[in-house]
Each structure stands twice: as structure tokens, then as C-alpha cells.
Amino acid sequence: MLNDLVDIIVDAIADADDDHSARGIAAAIGRMITAGTLPLDARLPTVRALSKALGVSPTTVSEAWQTLAAVGAIEARGRLGTFVRQPVGPGGPQRYRRVTEGPGHFALDLSSGTPDPELLPDLAKVVALVSRQSLTSSYLDQPVLPELDTILRNSWPFPAEDLTVVDGAMDALDRIAQVVVRLGDRVVVENPTFPPLIDLLEQLGAEVIGVDLDAEGISVDGLRAALEQHPTAVFLQPRAQNPTGITMTARRCIAVSKLLADSDAVIVEDDHSGDIASGELVSIGTRLPRRTVHIRSFSKSHGPDLRLAAVGGAGDVVSAVANRRLLGPGWSSRILQAVLVGLLNDPATAKMLRTARDEYARRRTLVTAVFDERRVPFTGTDGINLWLHVNDERSALLTLAAQGIGAAPGEPFMVRDDADFLRVTVGLLQGSDDDINAVAHRLADAAGLGQDRFGVRRPGQR
């Protein structure tokens, strides 16, 4: 029977682009477990037997086994062998830790990706009004306040079949992924992208496919090639992409929508910057509303501690998220929802958001002008982050740290680690034009000068 199983696994890998790498073997077996081809408690072939059948080294198969064991999909039972088990996911957010666990305190920390507290709306007046309201009379109340539901639906980029509110954008990504992604599924993300998303998908045992970006958004050719692998889901950030600061153009949105129309993938859009983004929001949902789930976060615009994001779009996915939450937290705080309603209806808050958007744009423009002058390659025209190309990531980080400046390493953001970058939260730069220019020159010095070895046009070059 084990010989038959070896043949089945070999055939499955051959059907999956004949990828004999450790990652390819693990993904193929993961899909077999998800599909039930390898049922729970099925005994797997030995490393030696499978490596011989595949024509690879035992080390390669051992690495595949380690990947599957890390998500709890298989377990070794000593001399009895290795068996299929129910996946439970690995320990923690490895990539995200590499971004957040820096060497220590910085006089100027540009590594966090968070908004400037000075540019957030004042909550005092709204909180005072909410404190006199009675918001929750029953655990059976609707999870979204009716007034907030109306505001969200009226401003949603496309008609949402269903809509709910969760505890921030990352909570939304987590809950959506739990619904649409299974062990061994292929999932497309932008490369680079937000590290916790890669951590999350790897925890679920997904095979992550990174598609590069250009100035207009996700690459059409790259996405076309990725779709040939029949991914289950495509995760996009339509504007102020983190970490690159790229906003998808309307033209690119149309091209991407046409490609996705011929696939079965669920499209997940994360509009994490919301009202502080300068770029126009475009949405695949305007063309594929029944397969698109759109996330709108209010953390960067209205306040991180509101911990609120709205999820709307494809009814089967959104209703599954809402129903699953009934078995856990049930709903997001209606008190915080009421605060958000007050902010969304407050003219002073709207004015503050316009001020914040303009100020972030000013800071970014000052920094990029220095980079243009110094011929330092960078990416990004929107939001609070810039993606800075550097000659050597570690050297650049150490150079900045010696001057009391923190930046985020680029490697955790990348599906393929093939160049050196830093993510710099230029939205946190305060002070006069001269103050910001001085920091920009320090960033340019740390990046290093000389030939552009990144395969991209440096700003100012023809």
C-alpha cells in the first residue's frame, strides 16, 4: 500500500508543475490532505522511499516533512512512521517579529508604519457624547450599528452583498483567510507585501505566490502567470500599498479585473490607509462584486485604538466571517462603533483628515525630492511609507541606527528575497522643511550611491 501511495504522491507532484523542491513537495502533499486524498492517520512513505521515487535527495524530502510538521499537518510517531494529522498551524508571526523587534529605542523611529499621533482626530468630544448613550441591550443585537451600516454601505466602492465590522484590518485578513484558504492552497500576494499576511498564510499551510509591482500596481504579466497555477485567493492593497506606497491606477484595475474574471479566485482588497491616502480608490469589486471582499480600516486615519475595520462584498465570505465570530467575540464593541459614527459625521474630523492627508503628502514630497536629487532609487507616491532601495540592507540599518534613526528591514516584506530594501515611515517625520530635508539626506547616505543594481529606473533617469 505504501508503494501505491508513493506513486500517488509522485503523480500529484507531476500534476502540480512537477515542482520537486521541498516547498513544492510540501504544497502538493498539503493539497492532498485538504482534498482527502491523504486522510487523517494515513501513514506516509519513508523519506528514503519518496526521495528515490522523486529523484531528489533525502534532505529535500526531509525539509518538506519539516514544513508540513510546522503547520501540524503530519506527525512522526517514532518507529511506527509519519502520519497525517489535523493541521493546527505553527507558533508565531516570524516575519512580523523581524520588523518589530529592532535593536532598541531610536531618537527618530521610522520603522513602525504607524500614523503620526498629532495628525489623528480629537476623540474627546465624540467620546463624551457616546458615554451618555445606551448601545447594547442584548447579546442578540446586530453586530453592526444600523447608522454605521448605512454610512458604510453608502460609501462602499461597490454594492456589498453583506457587510460586517471586525477588530482592525489584520483581524479582517485573518478571518477571511480562515474562510477561503485551506492547507496546500496557492494564494497570490503582492511582492513585497505586509509581513503578517505572509505569516498568516504560511500558518494556514498555503503556498504563497508573490507577484511584483510596478508604478501602476500589481504586474499584469506576473498575475497572468500566477493565475495559471489556479490560486484560491488574490490579496491586494489598492492604494498606498504597504510597504511600497504604490496606488493602483484605474487602467491597471481594469486590466487586472479582466484577468481575474476568468479565474475562480476570491479577491481580497485591503484599503488600510483609507482617508489619509492621496490616491483615488479603485476596486476590483466594481467589476467582480460577487467574488471581491473589500476591507476598509480606520486605524491609520481615525485612530489605531479604535481597532475597527469594515468588511464588505461577496456575501458567502462575509457572512461566513460574521457567523464564525458569533462563536468567539460575537461583535466588535458597539461603543467604539458609535465613536466611529460620531467621527464620520463630524465636520471637524473631516477637516482634520484633509489636513493629515496634505501633511503626509508634504513630508513624502520633501523626502522624495532629496532622493531625486541624490539619484537614490525608491518606490511610492502615496500613504505614509516609502520603499527605499539600498546597496546593503544590514549596513544601511546599522548606519541609520548609529545616528539614532530606525527603519524597517525589507527582507520580511518579500516573498522572494532577491534585493536589499528598507521600509521608511516618512509620515512620522515632523518639523520644518529643513528638518525633514536633513533626515532625507541621512537616509540617502545610508542607501549608498553608485550603480543602480536593482533593475529599476532611478528617479530622474531616462
Identify the DSSP state of 342: H
Of residues 258, 278, 259, 256, the one with CA closest to residue 269 = 256
Tell me which residue has cell 508634504.
362
- Pairing, β 421-424 against β 386-389: antiparallel
Provide the greatest CA pair distance for the chain.
Answer: 74
Instruction: Give how far the C-alpha of residue 417 lies from the chain's centroid of Cα atoms, to the nearest Å.
Output: 16
Residues whose CB is less than 8 angstroms from the CB of residue 171 and which lie 6 or more positions away in sequence, other chains included: 307, 309
Beta carbons of 281 and 240 less than 8 angstroms apart: no
Beta strands (DSSP E) in 243-323 are 266-271, 292-297, 309-313
Let me know the angle formed at the C-alpha of 245 by 355 and 157, rounded to the nearest 5 degrees: 70
**Helix 146-155 × helix 334-344 angle, to 10°:** 50
Confidence at residue 87, expressed as pLDDT on a 0 to 100 scale: 62
- Which cell is 66 given? 519539516
Local structure of 292: helix, strand or coil: strand
Confidence at residue 187, expressed as pLDDT on a 0 to 100 scale: 97
Total Cβ atoms within 10 A of residue 239: 24
pLDDT digits (tens, 9 = 90+) for 389-439: 999 999 999 999 999 999 999 999 999 877 899 999 999 999 999 999 999
Single-letter residue type at 68: L
**Which of 103-107, 153-157, 287-291, 418-422 bottoms out in mean pLDDT, i.e. has the lowest?**
103-107
Instruction: Give the Cα separation of 76 and 43 in Å (integer).
Output: 10
Could you give the domains of the chain? Answer: 2-84 (1.10.10.10), 94-118+348-447 (3.90.1150.10), 123-346 (3.40.640.10)
pLDDT band at 453 (very low <50, low <70, confident <90, very high): very low
Single-letter residue type at 352: M
pLDDT digits (tens, 9 = 90+) for 138-148: 566 788 999 99
Question: Averaged over 54-79, what is the pLDDT?
Answer: 84
- Which cell is 89 given? 498551524
Beta carbons of 384 and 113 less than 8 angstroms apart: yes
Instruction: Give the Cα separation of 109 and 95 in Å (integer).
Output: 19
Which carries the bigger pLDDT value, residue 210 or residue 204? Answer: 210
Instruction: Give the Cα separation of 109 and 117 in Å (integer).
Output: 14
Proportion of the chain above pLDDT 90, given as a percent: 63
Residues whose CB is less than 8 angstroms from the CB of residue 119 and which lie 6 or more positions away in sequence, other chains included: 276, 352, 355, 356, 359, 360
> How far lies 210's CA from each of 112, 273, 346, in Å?
23, 22, 40
Residues whose CB is less than 8 angstroms from the CB of residue 100 and which lie 6 or more positions away in sequence, other chains included: none
pLDDT band at 178 (very low <50, low <70, confident <90, very high): very high
Proportion of the chain above pLDDT 70, given as a percent: 90
Let me know the angle formed at the C-alpha of 304 by 299 and 305, rounded to the nearest 5 degrees: 130
Confidence at residue 140, expressed as pLDDT on a 0 to 100 scale: 61
Confidence at residue 454, expressed as pLDDT on a 0 to 100 scale: 38
Beta carbons of 217 and 248 less than 8 angstroms apart: yes
